[in-house]
Amino acid sequence: MDRTKWFYEAGYGIFCHWTTKTLPKNGEKKTHERAVLDFDVDTFTQQIIDTGARFLCFTITHSEMKVPFPLKELDDIVEGYTSKRDLLLEIYERLSPHGIKLMVYFNGEDSAGASWQNVTKFNEDPKVHAEYCYKIAEAISKKYGDKISGWWVDCCYEPGICGGRGTRYDYKRYADAMRAGNPNSIVAFNFRGVEPWGSTWGSGIADYQAGEENDLTFYPNGRFSGEGGLQWFALCWMDKYWVHETEGDPVPVHSNEKVLEYVKKVKKGGGVFAYNVAPYQEGHISEKTMEQLLWLKNNGIAD
Residue 168 backbone phi and psi in degrees, to 5: -75, -15
**For the chain, how many residues are written?**
303
User: What is the per-residue pLDDT for 125?
Assistant: 95
**In whole angstroms, what is the distance from residue 36 CA to residue 163 CA?**
33
User: What is the per-residue pLDDT for 196?
Assistant: 56
**In whole angstroms, what is the distance from residue 42 CA to residue 26 CA?**
19
Averaged pLDDT for residues 66-89: 96
**Domain ranges, ordered by start, for the chain:** 5-298
Q: Residue 195 above 80 pLDDT?
A: no
- pLDDT per residue as tens digits for the range 86-130: 999 999 999 999 999 999 999 998 876 678 999 999 999 999 999
Burial class (CB in 10 A: 0-12, 13-18, 19+), 31: exposed
Arithmetic mean of pLDDT over the chain: 94
User: What is the per-residue pLDDT for 71?
Assistant: 98
User: What is the per-residue pLDDT for 102?
Assistant: 98
Averaged pLDDT for residues 219-236: 93
Q: Residue 18 above 60 pLDDT?
A: yes
Averaged pLDDT for residues 156-183: 91
Give the residue with greater pLDDT, 240 vs 87. Answer: 87
Strand partners, 55: 101
Confidence of residue 197 (pLDDT cuts 50, 70, 90): low
Class of domain 5-298: alpha beta
Confidence of residue 204 (pLDDT cuts 50, 70, 90): confident
Which stretch of 8-12, 31-35, 166-170 has the lowest confidence by average pLDDT? 166-170
